[in-house]
Structure 1
Amino acid sequence: MISERDRDFFQPKWRRVAITAFCTAWAAFEWYGQNTFWAMIATGAAAYCYWEYIYKFEQRKDA
């Protein structure tokens, strides 16, 4: 669940896309380096970012 403070910070779409892209790139880097443990953690972080910040994020109408 996203707090109200986080929701305010992530209102601009570029911030949500940037953090998701960063986590995805981190996951790809770890998979490429065959660091399975960190790759799974980074993949989970990327999936969470996608789910919370891209898929189900609701923009405020007044923003």
Structure 2
Amino acid sequence: MLGPPPFILPWIGPEIMPLLDPKDPFFAKPWVRWATAGAPLAWGAMELALGNPGWALMFLAAGAYAAWALILSGK
């Protein structure tokens, strides 16, 4: 047996921390959750309007993930 992969620390366990944790006290205020989701969405729309589809895709995907994790998932 080789043991656990090196990225799993034995004192933490195999749990994976979420990228955006809606239970974190930082996201307790609704305006913070909306701003965290809205800022990358707005930036992605601006990048798309300026003709940069690659950057637009990255920011829109980040904003969509933030909106799902912080607003739509209901956690």
State the identity as a percent. Answer: 30
Amino acid at match of 1:44: A
Structure exhibiting the larger radius of gyration computed from Cα positions: 2
Structure 1 moving runs of 4+ over 6 Å: none
Amino acid at match of 1:35: N
TM-score (structure 2 length as normaliser): 0.66
Q: Corresponding residue for 1:61?
A: none
5+ unaligned residues in a row in structure 2: which ranges? 1-17
Cα distance in 2, alignment partners of residues 21 and 37 from structure 1:
19
> Root-mean-square deviation (CA), in Å?
1.8
5+ unaligned residues in a row in structure 1: which ranges? 59-63
Greater relative contact order, per chain length (Cα 8 Å cut-off, separation 6+): 1
Cα distance in 2, alignment partners of residues 3 and 23 from structure 1:
17
TM-score (structure 1 length as normaliser): 0.77
Q: Which has the larger helix fraction?
A: 1
1:36 to 2:36 alignment: no
